[in-house]
Structure 1
Amino acid sequence: MISRRNFLSSAALLSAGVLMSPSVFAYNKRYIGLQLYTVRDAMAKDPAGTLAQLAKIGYNSVEGATYTGTQMFYGMTPQAFAAVLKQSGLIMPSAHYRLGEEQMNGAPVAGTMLHDWDRAVDDAAAAGVKYMVCAYLSEAERGNLDHYKYVAEQLNKAGERCKKAGIQLCYHNHDFEFAAQDGKIPFDLLLNGTDKKLVKMELDLYWVNKAGHDPLALFKQHPGRFPLWHVKDMDRTPQKAFTEVGNGSIDFKKIFAHADEAGLQYFFVEQDTTPGSPFDSVTKSISYIKKNLV
């Protein structure tokens, strides 16, 4: 794909500095993504209008958040949603899903890794999704180390099905996976207990920092295992709350310098809660990213 720099500039940079700074070319800097959970209320009311507004702000990539349970993308079939994305000049390379142990009203939830995963994968392929991400484990789905081993087994199985459709399965972390149990870290168990070709990681940079762990150490220990990132910042208050990218304490410049080692392909801004309009917050975030990170 063509980078934001023109060909001549790219060629000059390659000849002059690629040996010194290989991470500059680790991923396509053309794409700046947003996890749609950030604008979930607006997407529920007017998905087409919301996507158009995000494109106007400058985002050209999004990550889905609502397929689970409905087996639709924001109330639309995969084909219809793909058409709406195209109208705004957006791509959706990644989307979030759930494990599916948790029931709703006493019944299994379809479109999860444990229930009707075949259809979920087929629908993802139809929508143009390249990465299906296990987004979250509820408290009931976490359990002890043996249960995390079970989760790893299910990730491998789900990843095998994704592979058949040309899709990569990933797992998205929070902070609870880094809470030690019997001297072991569940996140390490998930990394080591899954096939590195079938299961990769979407590293949430906020949560790994809040858990007191170093993303650069993870990149070094598991190079190429982190093709997706969530880029969200942590404010400097004792609460360590979410804040706009560049407005907090996380050193994104240092982390992005290791993009090649991580295996980064796409990143998505996410801010679970915002002080005002989420559109104001995501505008501030993309402004910082364009000036400092890409």
Structure 2
Amino acid sequence: MTEQIGLAGSRRGFLKLALGAAAVAGTGVWAGGGAAAAAGLTRVPPGHIGIQLYTVRSLMTVDAQGTLDALGAMGYSTVGVSGLYGHSPHEFRAMLDRAGLRAVLTHVGLDTIRGDWQQELEDARVLGVRYVVVPWLPDSLHNPAGYRQLAAEFTEAGKAARGAGLKFLYHNHGFDFRAVDGQVLYDILLDETDPRFVNFELDLYWIVDGGKDPLDYFDRYPGRFPVFHVKDRAQDGSFEDVGYGTLDFAEIFRGQRDSGVLEYVIEHDQPAQPLVSAERSYRYLRTMRF
């Protein structure tokens, strides 16, 4: 199915069309949840399964409310905000409320913490999020000195966030796990920030793609990863729907107590059919046991 919201003619038509295709695509998902539950295994808390709205960005630009409605109807409880698509924080919060969704985090640019940070924190409070997250770093900072500078900046931003009743996180990519001059860049941030003020949204695709083991980080830095970006990796290294790639999520999630994870936020950076991808990933995470 080609997801073209405009062809539906109305939000109701779009929702029916999109959910129908997603339901068909989701029929092949793993179905061992009942037996696993009977065996005494645990599951991801349903109220903490979310999706980063970057996954459905092509649809959000056309019909934000219809897209949020579709995600809520699938069963998602939470979202990670990736921009407001021309809406004010109050308007966006109202759309989330209407869809029955709760925003748990918002991504903001590094320039934001260097600018009117207090206004950004106020906007985050309106959205109702718990976490404010910097998700990207410029190439010029990909060195030990740059990461030490960031550790200091993140600490100050985290102190202000804590004063506003929020928490500050950094979201990793593959470049964070490079060793430069004998130092793993990501480790500099972990070692040189205070967990009272700075913690981490761990993107599981990118840490594996960067050649590192999430469980090793949970052991060395317990409690510092309150949010997982649950993203899968295909055999060829490309992005894949959660549960259809190569990552062993059951093994990773078994480290949940050490990690400190509270929120599981699905993401696919380049889905061919965003709602189909969202449905497949949700079904897997909702039914898996570990």
User: TM-score w.r.t. structure 1 length?
Assistant: 0.82
- Which letter maps to 1:151? L
Q: Are the structure 2 counterparts of residues 34 and 199 from structure 1 closer, same or farther at C-alpha, using a change threshold of 3 Å?
A: same
Specify the alignment match of 1:291 in structure 2.
287
Within-5 A mapping of 1:1-294: 24=42, 28-66=45-83, 73-100=84-111, 112-140=112-140, 142-237=141-236, 240-274=237-271, 276-293=272-289
CA offsets 1:246-266 (integer angstroms, 9 cap, x no match) = 111100001111112111111
- Which letter maps to 2:139? E
Shift of the alpha carbon at 1:269?
A: 0.5
- Which letter maps to 1:60? S
Whether the aligned pair in 2 keeps the contact of 1:33 and 1:267 (CA below 8 Å) is yes
Q: Distance in 2 between matches of 1:89 and 1:293?
A: 25
CA offsets 1:153-203 (integer angstroms, 9 cap, x no match) = 110011011001110000000010111011100100000111111000000
CA offsets 1:90-139 (integer angstroms, 9 cap, x no match) = 00010101111xxxxxxxxxxx1101111000110111111000111122
After TM superposition, the runs of 4+ consecutive aligned structure 1 residues lying more than 3 A away are none
Higher helix proportion: 2
Structure 1 unaligned regions, length at least 5: 1-12, 67-72, 101-111
Whether the aligned pair in 2 keeps the contact of 1:256 and 1:293 (CA below 8 Å) is no
Structure 2 unaligned regions, length at least 5: 1-36
Q: The residue matched to 1:196 in structure 2 has which SS?
A: coil
- Which letter maps to 1:120? E
Residues paired across the two proteins, number:
253
Q: Distance in 1 between matches of 2:94 and 2:131?
A: 19
- Which letter maps to 1:92? A
Q: Distance in 2 between matches of 1:28 and 1:83?
A: 25
Is 207-216 or 49-58 further displaced after alignment?
Answer: 49-58
Shift of the alpha carbon at 1:32?
A: 1.1
Specify the alignment match of 2:20 in structure 1.
none
Q: The residue matched to 1:45 in structure 2 has which SS?
A: coil
Whether the aligned pair in 1 keeps the contact of 2:46 and 2:77 (CA below 8 Å) is no
Specify the alignment match of 1:107 in structure 2.
none
Whether the aligned pair in 1 keeps the contact of 2:47 and 2:78 (CA below 8 Å) is no
Q: Distance in 2 between matches of 1:259 and 1:171?
A: 19
Whether the aligned pair in 1 keeps the contact of 2:48 and 2:262 (CA below 8 Å) is no
Whether the aligned pair in 2 keeps the contact of 1:136 and 1:174 (CA below 8 Å) is yes
Percent of aligned positions that are identical? 38
Q: Distance in 1 between matches of 2:190 and 2:108?
A: 19
Q: Distance in 2 between matches of 1:167 and 1:208?
A: 25
Q: Distance in 2 between matches of 1:99 and 1:192?
A: 20
